Chain A
Amino acid sequence: MTALSLRGIRKSFGAVEVIKGIDLDIDSGEFVVFVGPSGCGKSTLLRIISGLEQATSGDTVFDEEVVNDHTPFERGVAMVFQSYALYPHMTVAENLGFPLKLAKADPQEIAAKVKAAADILQLGPLLDRKPDQLSGGQKQRVAMGRTIVRSPRIFLFDEPLSNLDADLRIEMRLEIEKLHKRLDATMIYVTHDQVEAMTLADRIVVLRDGSVEQMGPPLDLYENPVNTFVASFLGSPRINFLNVELLDSDASSCKLLLADGSHVTAPFSAGTASVGEKMKLGVRPEDLSASGGDFSIPFRMEIHERLGPTSYLYGRSGADSIVAEYRERGAVTPATLTTLGVNSAHAHLFDANGLSVRNRQERVS
């Protein structure tokens, strides 16, 4: 069932349009992550959904009901802010109980619900403290606790983990995942951390400049990015782009001219791209290997970064900088490594405008 629909949402601040027509349906129980670079309108979109901000045009629909004029409370949303926004003059228990108190619930019910939420998030020993006596992770937990006491229709998270250190981030990420499973709730989560997006999302919505670039399940976006922007946004280390020129193409293969003058034949079609077109070949670090592959590209190694079982090789192929994943344990001598093999099944060819040829093909057909 559709929990939330956005229909043609636009938003301008003065003369500047920051959300440029967004359509989106979110199923109930779905975990949707908005990602995109800073300033692309993620928070604004989330605030429009919450009702804290009014869209300039378009409809926000909750459970088949247009809620454009409803207050955040009437919409039944709960939100975790990047700054946590805990009420500094109230104890943790009062913070958690505040929405219930406003709803004039009786004190016993408030106490019971606060306790239940505190149990889920292990806040029991902190209930009498004030926010300034809590660590970052504890504040984060309290902010989440405040959302669950009310059993909202939709949970909204605006970069909730960005103020935490790396370890705590991972811990809280798992915590949020557990919460989602446990409550079976509809959640919308804003982040610019692609790892959070990949791990948490049922569906990722990639935003750029107030428009949706692509949406879909994390692995779909990872495997089939529609353009270089999406391709480089997901995955760490980033996808490599090799500048190539199309020499020849048929239904099942294409011939590419690499920057160093060598020719390679890749086992996929270049679609509607025309011969002579300047293109970019996108290859993720894990699809490059020291030996094997469907074809090889020249490589000059500069740095070998060992992280344990996997390590990364940094270097250049012609003028393009390249990162390759390396899974063997022994050290690599730069002298012995002059080429990298490409696993072409997962390589992507992008045209001069950055559009994936697969995608272009689909659009044309």
Chain B
Amino acid sequence: MRRASSTMRRLRRHVANSWAWAVVGAFLVFALFPVYWIVLIAFRPRDDIFQYPAALMPTNLSLDNIRFIWFGTETSEPIIGFLGNSMLISVISSLIALSLGVACAYALGRFRIGGGFLPMWILSQRFLPPIALVVPLYLMYRQFGLLDTYFGLVILYATFTIPIVVWLMMGYVESSPPELEEAAYIDGAGYWTAFTRIALPVLKPGLSVAAVFTFIFIWNEYVLAFQLAGDDVATITVYLPRLRSAVAELYGEIAAASLLSVIPAIVFAGVMQRFLVRGLAFGGLK
């Protein structure tokens, strides 16, 4: 959704061509319609949802679906617990991935540790689709008692997102001038101080991009969360499909839950974007 709207803005600036508008318009309808539909039926009373033919415009407003999801029922727990799990796991894993990843990217990008080989090797960790690792991971996790624990999911997600952070941040490290840290060494800073007090603040815009990436990756991850956890520790992605299988045809409720589950991700990306813009303003070194 964000992508589509920013594409539109850019195009408005450059192309004043009605054909382009028609194509973009069609694409937007295509991309945004499902989102619109989710919002529509999340607030629609049960009877209206199953009306045929379906009404494309808002009909009667109802908060039943939201209420069902928010307060839960005998068969379904309130959504807040799952949102909380997802939030906790996403934030902690992202923080771990970002702090280890940026340190690693700095070492690779600034001091050429590992030559040309190590960065590629790190990225190669992500060549395998996660599903390929599920069985060995399951066995390992069972052995170590990590199944269905916060700790298990956190180290899993941190490990999975570190390569992305490293690669993204390496680009930022390489394009930021080493003279800044050299000036700091001359001013009496050691490597650590130069890294934390000079390099990190300069890398902030990159860090906020990496934070958005990792947070959203983890927030949306389903396969591993479903296989390696899901009972005591269930994330929002595990919760959503459950609504479907528990009792048939809870479309309005699923729509309401989906709506509530994207809100934190959107808020997070929005906050990070503010950081990003401020960070870029710093960028003018010369």
Question: Which residue numbers of A lie inside 8 Å of B, CB to CB?
Answer: 50, 52, 71-73, 77-79, 81, 83-89, 98-99, 102-103, 130-132, 136, 139, 146, 150, 163
Contact = CB atoms under 8 A, between A and B. Distances in A.
A85 B183 contact: yes
Most buried by B among A50, A77, A87: A87
Contacts of A136: 286
A84 B201 contact: no
Interface stretch (B164-172, B187-195, B253-261): B187-195
A102 B202 contact: no
B53 interface: no
B95 interface: no
B285 A52 contact: no
B286 A81 contact: no
Contacts of A79: 182-183, 186
B284 interface: yes
Given A73-B186, A88-B284, 5 more contacts: A73-B187, A81-B182, A81-B183, A83-B285, A131-B285
Contact-size category for B? 20 to 34
B283 to A, nearest CB: 7
B284 A73 contact: no
28 contacts: A72-B182, A72-B186, A73-B185, A73-B188, A73-B189, A77-B186, A79-B182, A79-B183, A79-B186, A81-B183, A83-B285, A84-B285, A85-B182, A85-B285, A87-B198, A88-B180, A88-B202, A88-B282, A88-B284, A89-B204, A89-B282, A98-B184, A99-B187, A99-B188, A132-B281, A132-B285, A136-B286, A139-B286
A50 B184 CA distance: 13
A103 B193 CA distance: 12
Contacts of A99: 187-188
A79 B185 CA distance: 10
B58 interface: no
A132 B183 contact: no
B224 to A, nearest CB: 37
Nearest to A82: B179
B186 A78 contact: yes
A51 to B, nearest CB: 8
Contacts of B185: 52, 71-73
Given A88-B284, A89-B201, A102 B183 contact: no
Contacts of A52: 182, 185-186
Contacts of A89: 201-202, 204, 282
A87 B188 contact: no
B279 to A, nearest CB: 9
Nearest to A158: B179
Contacts of A85: 177, 179-180, 182-183, 285
B187 A132 contact: no
A187 to B, nearest CB: 15
A136 B285 CA distance: 11
A107 to B, nearest CB: 17
Given A99-B188, A102-B193, A87 B284 contact: no
Interface in B245-286: 281-286
Contacts of B188: 73, 99, 102-103
A130 B286 CA distance: 12
Contacts of A86: 285
B188 to A, nearest CB: 4
